[in-house]
Structure formats: structure tokens, C-alpha cells
Structure 1
Amino acid sequence: MNGIVIIAHAPLATALKTCAAHVFPERAQGLLALDVQADAPAERTLDLAREAVARLSDTPLLLLSDVMGATPCNVATQLLRALRAQGQGQARLLAGVNLPMLWRAVSYQHEPLDALVARALQGGSQGVRELE
């Protein structure tokens, strides 16, 4: 089972995790949220992210962040690089997380990481529609 880590501006990461746990309560243990506070130094946030993913050691990880280029995504990128440098190549990062993307990822959390990434991207893009 893949771990899913949401790194986003506060309070979005926790809010997304809460929504996912509401719909998929049995999957809550494999889902982590890190809310990036506005005044927190990026180095401290990266330390918190490392501590969080240490609980999911030896587990393939899907990292989800909110806005490409913003501090949470930059922290997630640094985390991904650190994981790969430590020999944990089983980690991927997607920016632009939304609730349909997260629900799709949680639904297919058991699939191989490459398939999970494809499913999450599909859920995220298909969840955005103009209505009427």
C-alpha cells in the first residue's frame, strides 16, 4: 500500500485529509497531512516533512502539493530529492492537488506507484468541469 502525503498551505492539507478520511475512514492511517504555516521557515517545514514520512519508511510515497512554485511545493520537491538521495526512489510528487485527485488516489492507493500517479492525475483533471 502506498503512503499519501499532502503538503499544502495551512489549513488545506488537514482539510483535504479530513475529507478523505470522512469518505475512506479505513485508509486514514496511510494518509499524512502537513500544513505549511505562513510564517514558518522552509527549513523547519522540511524537517517536519522528513519526520512525517519517516513513519512511512519503506513505503512507496505519493506526495501531493497545492501550488507549483509555492513554499509547500518547494518543500515537497526538496523532500522528494532527499528521499531519492537516501535510496528511496519510490516517491513521486504531484502539484495542484484537489479533492477529486485525492479521492482517486485514496481509492487506488493499493496499485503500483506509477499507476497511482496516473489515476490521481486523471481524477484531478476530470474533477474540474464547467457546469451549465
Structure 2
Amino acid sequence: MSNRILIIAHAPLAKALRDCAMHVYAECAADVIALDVLPDAQPEDTLALAISAAGSALDEGLLVLTDIFGATPANVAQKLVTGSHAKLIAGVNLPMLFRSVCYRHEPLDALAARALAGGTQGVMQVAITATQNQDR
């Protein structure tokens, strides 16, 4: 059994990230859920949508990825994961999501660590020449 992944972010980021992941990992469609939070959405309504979208994964294993800590999607996500079998990470990016999808079969704590590593390792300044980007 694998963990499910819920992306909850400002619209249209959640769906866009999911679409990118499905472009590469189409076989994972059932395990990756996107919830776009509209500008005028009420937090209570968003929480209800998140609970519905997460379903049984809240008890079985859910990694929640959100965009900005302290913003409405992250605040809703914090309420969602409280008291459940879920982990929450803010600052989602595409490398983090790809890493999460690839390792979704691992235990939830290990998956969260992999997601964080993927997210941080995917952020780098790119030099003009390839040799400047290589470790020596």
C-alpha cells in the first residue's frame, strides 16, 4: 500500500503541479490529489473540501504539500493533518513532488524526509557552463 499525496495551494498551482507530475508518472493518478484554493474561498469550506479529497488516506498515510507557510492553504492543511496519520510540508516545488511520487511506498516519516530532500536539492543557482555546476 502506498501513501497518498495531497497538494493544497493557491489556484492554479495545485492542479498545475499535479498535471506536471502526471505527465511523467501517469500511473500514479489515484495517489496524487490536487486542491486549488481560490482567492475568495472561506477556510472552513476549503477544509471541508480537503477532508473529502483526502478521504481514508488521513488514517492510512497522507503527505500534504502546500505552497506558503502561514497562508490560507497551509493553515487549512495544518487543521487537516492534526490528529491524523499525515505529514505536512510547506514550500512545495516540482522536484519535491516528483520525489514524493517516486517514494510514496515508503513509510510516511521516510517519505516526508525524501520530499524535503527533493525540494531542497532541486533548488540551485545554475551557472552558464556545465563544469561550474559539477562537484570537484
Common topology (TM > 0.5): yes
Q: What percent identity do the matched residue pairs reach?
A: 57
What SS is found at the alignment partner of 2:73?
Answer: helix
- Pair 1:41 & 2:36 matched: no
4+ runs of 1 displaced by more than 6 Å?
Answer: none
Quick one: distance in 2 between partners of 1:106 and 1:119? 10
1:128 matched to 2:128? The reply is no
The question of 1:100 aligning with 2:95 is answered yes
Cα deviations across residues 8-65 of structure 1 (Å, max 9, x unaligned)? 0000000000011110011111110000000011110011001111153642000000
Listed as ranges, the gaps of 5+ residues in structure 1 are none
Distance in 1 (alpha carbons) for counterparts of 2:81 and 2:57: 14
Q: Distance in 2 between matches of 1:127 and 1:28?
A: 23
* Matched AA of 2:24: V
Query: Cα deviations across residues 84-129 of structure 1 (Å, max 9, x unaligned)?
Result: 1xxx3x2100000000000000000101111101100000000000
In 1, distance between residues paired with 2:45 and 2:79? 12
Q: RMSD of aligned C-alpha atoms?
A: 1.0
Aligned pairs for 1:1-132 within 5 A: 1-54=2-55, 56=57, 58-81=59-82, 84=83, 88=84, 90-132=85-127
SS in 2 for 1:68: coil
Letter in 1 for 2:45: R
Secondary structure of the equivalent of 1:64? strand
Change (3 A) 1:115 1:57: closer
Query: SS state of the match for residue 26, structure 1?
Result: helix
